[in-house]
Chain A
Amino acid sequence: MKHTISVLVENKAGVLSRISGLFARRGFNIDSLAVGTTEDKNISRITLLVEGDDYIAEQVTKQLNKQIDVIKVRKLNQDEITRRELVLVKVKMSSAQRGEIIDIVKIMQGQIVDISHTTLTVELCDRPDKIDILIELLSHYNIIEVARTGIIALQKGAESV
């Protein structure tokens, strides 16, 4: 089972290393981790996707809370959040394949952000499952590189962490 955990931390040197070290030490499996600043420049938000049962999710939450630089930890309910991830995919193609790829990108509501004689770079910002579909579709061509940002998430409605 995957858990999405949103963590507000002090925006200081060494915080990320403390937190990633914690996961390695305690044997927690992190599927994705995204960090960025928030509306307050002194606070960063880390969004984590953790694989494990409820016991693991609880341990992750408690161990994070124990960190002095962690201000708030919230395990987000999967049904009550908006999740987004950004992906860039560089695909090698022949001129015959170009049209097919552009069709796929259109259907997936992505964009072509770079083009050369032999490659296309596709951008998509969407739910992680949609991104998986795009990558699967493009894998029938020659994918050269993929870059994913990791998931970020916020609660739906007026609620906040």
Chain B
Amino acid sequence: MITGADAIVRSLENEGVEIIFGYPGATVCPLYDKLSKSKIKHILVRHEQHAGHAASGYARIKQRPGVCMTTSGPGATNLITALGTAYMDSIPLVAITGQVSSDLLGRDVFQEADITGAAEPFTKYSYLVKCADDLPRIIKEAFHIASTGRPGPVLIDIPVNVQNQKLEYTTPGEVNLRGYKPTIKGHAGQIKRICKAINNSEKPLICAGGGIFAANAQKELKQFAEMINIPIVSTMMGIGAVPTDHPLYAGMLGMHGKNIANQAISESDLLILIGARVSDRAVLLPANVGNNTKIIHIDIDPAEIGKNLSTFIPVVGDANQILTQVMSAQTERKSDDWPGLLRSKKSKIKIDYNPRKFGINPKGFVNLLSGMLPNDHIYCADVGQNQIWSAANCQIRQGRFLTSGGMGTMGYSIPAAIGAKLADPDKTVVAVCGDGAFQMNMMELGTICQHNVDIKIVVMKNNKLGLVKEIQRNSYKDNEIAVDLTGSPDITAIAKAYGIPARSIDSMDVAEEAIAEMIRHKGTYLLVCTVDENESSM
């Protein structure tokens, strides 16, 4: 007989878990006690929300569920924003929360929160474990649900007495949930219709979303586009699905995207959406899509198809599988007129490197930064103007672009970068955030130091909540309210207090040299870039 806590640790080991991001408390103490005897590494974060974000960054790079763990009550509720962020971006997480003793449930005892109820809209599934015997099966199911189909966060809430209950551990068999059988392979008839539609189109266009990464289909997407000669645009979540310098890539679409990508959408006669939700930020609703544009929508989640755009050919399945199926069917190679047209338009786009009267030029800066970083670097962008500058101007060649696309959660970049670095320590990982977002996650500098995580941090400092300020300027007659960050500390001094080398620059003349110094430095480094508060995001 072993305890419930033992069974949890053993189950996590069986799932191949190597790292858990967490923050302890009374109701997870039995579990922490047993975890200390396991090979699983625990990363103590400085705020529970960041345990979730770090697990998200880890999951996106490792291609397997990230695991985070907190105590009951406030520990669990602090996790909700991270669960919501992961849910919106379809990131696989397994979140374990402690809970008060099951015989006290519902009595509002100390640190009790109905977390399965509260997190319900933000989780793919959740469990409240009532009996230790169920733990091995539940943990196996949780990893299965989180990582298959459309990935997402799964919550397991475990009362403290269940962690102490004795059970006979039996290895659970194959997961079999009769209500959950995701479709992987595309319907053969629909594959034929796709090929026919491509052959009959003059200006086909692929729109790649985050689903490409979930399906690990970057290679297949590139092959498919090159084979048939179809240009590609991406959503924010799809940045890096093909290298941003690929001749067929026209850029990111949407409200903050490239004009050429948006024009391509309205001119195209066949839009092939792959793993993209086409939310309001991506496509300014049907107005942006040409009247005669037919839409092929490939998604593993049938509920996404037809939700935001009406679809000509819906195909449910895994993007990797479906692209492979389409490539093995007969499709003819398209002429180069349409891709050539977009290519020549793209070649005329010049990244804005113009010097500013005051401060650095953030658009040129992120382009320069990502250009100087190794080809396979991981770029974590936060939320705000810095996200738009980054998304529109950074170069993702063989690496990844991680950001909170759906939820737009400020404070995502640094914990996500920590998770990404721990998932792949050989990669250079950079977090780019504004001074607003930095002050939401700067406590994680402690985590970085404690666990010797080597990430590069760039803080775009304008002493304002720039994106909100911009909205107030454009839509509220310049009535600037609650966006001034006066009172903020000297960020380089904060970094130095943690023993992290830091530097502040305010001119593009020194940008290249400062970036080089940051890259050269072994270990975490923080670079503050002063930006004019009136710099626009576009």
A-side interface residues toward B, CB under 8 Å? Answer: 9-10, 13-14, 17-18, 21, 25, 55, 58-59, 62-63, 65-71
Contact = CB atoms under 8 A, between A and B. Distances in A.
Nearest to B306: A58
12 contacts: A9-B179, A10-B178, A21-B120, A58-B306, A59-B303, A62-B302, A62-B307, A63-B303, A65-B302, A66-B301, A66-B302, A68-B145
Contacts of B180: 68
B341 interface: no
Nearest to B304: A62
B121 A21 contact: yes
Interface of B: 116-117, 120-121, 124-125, 128, 145, 177-180, 301-303, 306-307
Given A10-B178, A10-B179, A68-B145, 12 more contacts: A9-B179, A14-B116, A17-B117, A17-B120, A18-B120, A25-B121, A63-B303, A65-B302, A66-B303, A67-B179, A68-B124, A68-B125
A25 B122 CA distance: 11
B120 A71 contact: no
Nearest to B302: A62
Contacts of A69: 179
B178 A71 contact: yes
Contact of A62 (B120, B145, B179, B303): B303
Contacts of A14: 116, 128
Contacts of A68: 124-125, 145, 177, 179-180
Nearest to A69: B179
B179 A70 contact: yes
Contacts of B116: 14
B259 to A, nearest CB: 31
A126 to B, nearest CB: 33
A71 B177 CA distance: 9
A34 to B, nearest CB: 20
A66 B303 CA distance: 7
A15 to B, nearest CB: 10
Contacts of A66: 301-303
Contact of B307 (A21, A59, A67): A59
Contacts of A65: 302-303
A55 B301 CA distance: 17
A71 B179 contact: yes
Contacts of A25: 121
A71 B178 CA distance: 6
Contacts of A10: 178-179
B304 to A, nearest CB: 9
A123 to B, nearest CB: 36
Nearest to B120: A21
A65 B179 CA distance: 8
Contacts of A67: 179
Nearest to B124: A68
Contacts of B306: 55, 58
A67 B301 CA distance: 11
Between B179, B180, B301, the greatest number of chain A beta carbons within 10 A of the residue's beta carbon is seen for: B179
A13 B116 CA distance: 12
Contacts of A13: 128
A58 B180 CA distance: 19
B484 to A, nearest CB: 35
A14 B157 CA distance: 13
Nearest to A24: B121
B291 to A, nearest CB: 19
Nearest to B130: A13
A67 B145 CA distance: 11
A95 B290 CA distance: 72
A55 B303 CA distance: 12
Nearest to B180: A68
B46 to A, nearest CB: 32
Contacts of B120: 17-18, 21
> 8 closest pairs, A vs B, by CB?
A62-B303, A71-B179, A68-B180, A68-B125, A66-B303, A70-B179, A71-B178, A69-B179
A117 B161 CA distance: 56
